[in-house]
A = this chain, B = another copy of it.
Amino acid sequence: MDEVRRTKQRKAARLLRSGASVTIESVAERAGVAPATVSRALNHPHKVAPETLARVNQAIAQTGYLPNLVAGGLASSRSRLFAAVVPSIANLVYAETIQSFTRRVREKGYQVVLGESGYDSQTEEDVVTALLGRRPDAIFLIGINHSLECRRKLLAAKIPVAETWDITPTPLDVVVGYDHDKVGEAVAEYLLGRGHRAFACVAASDARALKRQAAFAAEIVRRGGGEVLLETTLPGSSLEWGRQRMAALIEERGFTKGAVFCSSDFLALGVLVEAQARGLSVPGDVAVMGFGDLDFAAHTHPAMTTVKIDRTLMGATAADALLARVVDQPWPESVVDLGFSIVARATA
């Protein structure tokens, strides 16, 4: 008895300190029902009598009760949290993917914890590990290259995993993306078809951009287009680096006539600006091709020819796949190829 009293005292002290936050118990008392009924009213309203439901909802409104999802998550082993890790939040293409992903899962009552890998697989592993501690119901990743240890941890977590922005026959779970080799080849074919005879390729040094670059160069060679001048930048992408690499192409390699394929629209915009600033005409002297079809691509001057990737659909599809798996609904495909398309505009 004495012990019980002491416990109550401690509890009271804590509540006082924490501002006596309202719990399911206080709502239950007010509504004259058991806590379990309040829980049901919230999570399975159809399992509760209409009038009881009304009383509970009234009590909730009166108290301003906000269910504690941490407690709920622990009790139900469903955190209603999805984890997402991207190379960089400040890269528009990933930001847009995250945006559509976040919106879609939010519609279903899930929230997103965000992590950033900085294009580094060790960091990715660390971030993934940290996020898994939050026991997310599913996880969203960019790319298919993860450290062995990272893959192991992901598998051990036994949750749905979506890999995106690439494609592979052997995904960890679901993969939704497109084929970078095919992009490189398609661009090579397109540029050759436009009659260009000299080629360069400026790519950021991240795994996927380099894959496109390699495939592009190989295909140009295979089709008799000759050697491709290769330039790379740090991962990420910026107008500045595009200008820089184009300047190098012109000054160090004498490239003033031909087509340049860039691994991102920002890089391509830089190449375009640098060419124009030096008095070269685009596409007359140099043709420029971007990648991504970001918002601005259609509105540069001249309008940018690029490769369109549906980033929004990619985020939404990954979300749908994870959502389906989380509730054990069928989601037959484990490999979703969203493809890409070449958008022919004026720069190439």
Contact = CB atoms under 8 A, between A and B. Distances in A.
Contacts of A296: 238-240, 266, 269
Contact of A92 (B90, B99, B129, B131): B90
A130 interface: yes
Interface string A121-142: 0000001011111110000000
B79 A90 contact: no
A1 B117 CA distance: 51
A69 B240 contact: no
Contact of A240 (B67, B88, B92, B298): B298
Interface string A158-194: 1000000000000000000000000000000000000
Looking at chain A's contact residues, the main secondary structure is helix
A329 interface: no
A234 interface: no
A99 B88 contact: yes
A96 B102 contact: no
Contacts of A16: none
Contacts of A73: 70
Contacts of A269: 296
A74 B66 contact: no
Interface stretch (A108-116, A195-203, A223-231, A248-256): A108-116
Interface string A253-271: 0000000000000100110
Interface in A1-52: 18-19
Interface string A51-95: 000000000000010111111011001010100000011101001
Give the top 7 A-B pairs by smallest Cβ distance, nearest first.
Answer: A239-B296, A69-B133, A277-B301, A89-B99, A240-B299, A95-B95, A90-B99
